[in-house]
Structure 1
């Protein structure tokens, strides 16, 4: 029986052979020098393409050396980075996969920058984090330009889509949260404004038929943090600015308070569904979605359009093939050279 999980999906000029996304997951590879991907990344991403992922989203890739979580993360702040990304992208395409890059800046959550930047001078709790410098209005414009430059390089490298990271307490998230944005300028008066201007800037660097994805934290768990209603209002502004699909996660802004994350398979799916329904926009659900039966149900019930597999795909590059076996779907999901093993 054909399963909807393995049906194709189209968004603007992006055609996916199935509904399965490899989540962007930092590799923290100690051999990654100056933000440039290496052989580890090449093998890592191509193995998931061979394994059948419909869409691979490369890990958080930063717009500035001091925008990385650690000095072992990837970046696209220089044209010198383009060839190494292009090698991976071309390899994924050779195995009938589609690939995007998650573009980001860690803001106050960088661990290695001497002086982090943030909307406001509010330190992320604990070690090894440092007190950030509050960006001036003029400096904000420079950061927006760096987002656009990084996306221009990603497009030149051959990506099929772009994802902006507006979740998990990183810079865009810091601007959209009342916990971390205490500004009194235009970027404090409207929590969505920074994200909107980043979206508009990067859209100018993208082909018209290339979709823009946006990862958002739909719920903050720190005391005083925003809830799904705030996230929906943010998402409406981001959709109007040019976002084509939301990748819906939660948390990451600070220590958990009285609100607790569910921490069970599918616990974030209702947030994705609420944004999908409120905006009539396609969404990616994520969060402990490792059971093929569960993710098939999420797609069948139209709670999300795509499902992102994180840890499950770290453990098993052939998660898609094994899910096809579990769900008794078409064996074409299994790479032909490996079918004898099944």
Structure 2
């Protein structure tokens, strides 16, 4: 039985403990302050003891593909070389850092962000296949707009090469692990999903794309460890018949491990970009906040449409209530079949829960949104402020209330920060007591 504070290996990289900061939106962009913003966002987790820090989804091309405003792009060697400042900061604290590579495909801003579409009228989404009929019908409402370019076979290989080039730049800048964004409805997920993938070439088998990406990374970046999220579309509405089952996801994980992937992150979700990937309460405070009202209107095409999106968000909150460690069962099924680390994230909130997960379900545990309220959270979960053995007490828990007020404003380009007074008050109290030292 592994403890939270024990090391493990991803490929040839030793990670000093099994608590990691899962990928989030840093909203740092590529501007002159991007590196400083990323350091400010990510270094506290390493300074507080996180064994692995995952930089959130970064885009492998110079235009298009961003699923939200403010995503960083890593297509440019010169810019990525400057990120060595970030990797060195993480290494100075004894931590390891992964970069999550992504392209949004049909989930990109050129689909859903009205203001972005108006400013970039010639920008088309990249698509695995023609958008599914249901999505095309939804576009008639005006909330979505599809002008998709379906990738040819040669273009798929070129896209895989872009992942390989970006991985090379990142490895040269000191990143320890390459983490592919294989879930949450991004383009890799769209290759894997039978809902999206109706191709008639070799890539009708979506795993083939991940195999080609793996080969590109290996040929360009050497032996840098490679891991990926793998989706099960278990939360998709019953009307969606073509979907990835949990059994399918387990099979994909085993195939990828056999092919050479160094770790996997199995996750449950849907075929849509919805609350199934965050779960929790309706973020009423965020929707009422006057600071973001105009940003919502710009993103969704007017105030009325923004209110309708908020209503849909409320409905989703009823369908996807918070479920502790909601990926644990899927991770356990994968862990029984593979001999590489299985990382688990999604709804993990307490030290005792983490130890139980490590006993049976996974090899490392990740937290995302709780870091918005507690940037130095690992200090509380790993430090000796609880039991006689020097470890944190079993009842140590995050202060996050799963209210999602941190996430919704990011549609406007706002930073990912906690905005719930009661949560911030509790974090402030803990800070005054020295809990994060």
TM-score over 0.5 for the alignment?
yes
Q: For residues 157 and 129 of structure 1, do their structure 2 counterparts lie closer, same or farther at Cα, with a shift above 3 Å needed? A: farther
Contact 2:81 2:169 (C-alpha < 8 Å) held by counterparts: no
Contact 1:104 1:164 (C-alpha < 8 Å) held by counterparts: yes
Contact 2:17 2:51 (C-alpha < 8 Å) held by counterparts: yes
Instruction: Tell me whether 1:10 sits opposite 2:26 in the alignment.
Output: no
Tell me the equivalent position of 1:105.
103
Tell me the equivalent position of 1:218.
232
Instruction: Tell me whether 1:317 sits opposite 2:335 in the alignment.
Output: no
Contact 1:77 1:150 (C-alpha < 8 Å) held by counterparts: yes
How many residues get paired? 330
Q: CA RMSD in A?
A: 2.7
SS, match of residue 196 in structure 2: coil
**Could you tell me how far 1:80 is from its partner in structure 2?**
2.2
Tell me the equivalent position of 1:70.
68
- Deviations along 1:222-273, one digit per CA (max 9) or x if unpaired, are 222211111122222222222111012221521779xx66731112111111
TM-score by length of structure 2 reads: 0.70
Between 1:87-96 and 1:123-132, the stretch displaced more is: 123-132
Distance of 2:189 and 2:15 partners within structure 1: 28
SS, match of residue 15 in structure 1: strand
Tell me the equivalent position of 2:428.
none
Instruction: Tell me whether 1:143 sits opposite 2:152 in the alignment.
Output: no
Between 1:265-274 and 1:8-17, the stretch displaced more is: 8-17
Contact 1:37 1:84 (C-alpha < 8 Å) held by counterparts: no
Distance of 2:199 and 2:434 partners within structure 1: 59
Contact 1:118 1:135 (C-alpha < 8 Å) held by counterparts: yes
Decide which of 123, 141, 146 is 1:130's aligned counterpart: 146
**Could you tell me how far 1:331 is from its partner in structure 2?**
6.7
Q: For residues 72 and 255 of structure 1, do their structure 2 counterparts lie closer, same or farther at Cα, with a shift above 3 Å needed? A: closer
Distance of 1:252 and 1:204 partners within structure 2: 33
Between 1:217-226 and 1:301-310, the stretch displaced more is: 217-226
SS, match of residue 166 in structure 1: coil
Q: For residues 235 and 170 of structure 1, do their structure 2 counterparts lie closer, same or farther at Cα, with a shift above 3 Å needed? A: same
Higher fraction of strand: 1
SS, match of residue 361 in structure 2: coil
**Could you tell me how far 1:100 is from its partner in structure 2?**
1.0
Q: Which sections of structure 2, spanning at least 5 residues, go unmatched?
A: 111-119, 277-318, 393-430
Tell me the equivalent position of 1:268.
327
Distance of 2:272 and 2:21 partners within structure 1: 25
Decide which of 155, 178, 187 is 2:203's aligned counterpart: 187
Contact 2:107 2:273 (C-alpha < 8 Å) held by counterparts: no
SS, match of residue 124 in structure 2: coil
Aligned pairs for 1:121-270 (under 5 A) are: 121-122=130-131, 127-188=143-204, 190-208=205-223, 210-222=224-236, 223-224=240-241, 225-254=243-272, 263-270=322-329
SS, match of residue 205 in structure 1: helix
Contact 1:35 1:74 (C-alpha < 8 Å) held by counterparts: no
Contact 1:35 1:81 (C-alpha < 8 Å) held by counterparts: no
Contact 1:275 1:281 (C-alpha < 8 Å) held by counterparts: no
Tell me the equivalent position of 1:92.
90
Distance of 1:80 and 1:211 partners within structure 2: 23
- Deviations along 1:33-74, one digit per CA (max 9) or x if unpaired, are 369833221111111111111000111111112122134101
Between 1:280-289 and 1:213-222, the stretch displaced more is: 213-222
Distance of 1:116 and 1:298 partners within structure 2: 39
TM-score by length of structure 1 reads: 0.88
Distance of 2:197 and 2:434 partners within structure 1: 54
Q: Which sections of structure 1, spanning at least 5 residues, go unmatched?
A: 333-337
Distance of 1:221 and 1:331 partners within structure 2: 36
